Amino acid sequence: MHCLRCHGLMMTISMKETASGDTVSGWRCLLCGEAIDPGITANRKGHREPMPSRARPPGTVPGELGRRPKRTQLIERGQAKH
């Protein structure tokens, strides 16, 4: 198991659910402290994975990645002129 945020090593921990009082097993990142339990994982299903950076990779042009809102492409073009 590796952290979704920093890809660091995660260790198994026991967490107490505040709603039900049940103890569930989850994971905690040793590097950034990110905690994941089955409830969090279920809530994140269907969401996009966290992006470490919104900067486009070197060598690509805006729009190449596709499926991006037009507004985002315009902003990235503006930043590329710096």
**31 touches Zn ion (CB under 5 A):** yes
**13 touches Zn ion (CB under 5 A):** no
Residue appearing with tokens 């995660």: 10
Torsion sign across C-alpha atoms 55, 57, 63, 68 = negative
- Contact region with Zn ion (CB under 5 A), list: 22-30, 42-50, 57-65, 69-77: 22-30
Question: Given the complex with Zn ion, which of 7 and 77 has the nearer CB atom?
Answer: 7
Q: Is the Cβ–Cβ distance between 30 and 10 less than 8 Å?
A: yes
**29 touches Zn ion (CB under 5 A):** yes
Smallest distance from the beta carbon of 11 to Zn ion, in angstroms? 11
22 contact partners, CB below 8 Å, separation of at least 6:
16
Q: Which of residues 32-71 bind Zn ion (CB under 5 A)?
A: 32, 34
CA-nearest of 32, 28, 25 to 1 is 28
Question: Given the complex with Zn ion, which of 34 and 76 has the nearer CB atom?
Answer: 34
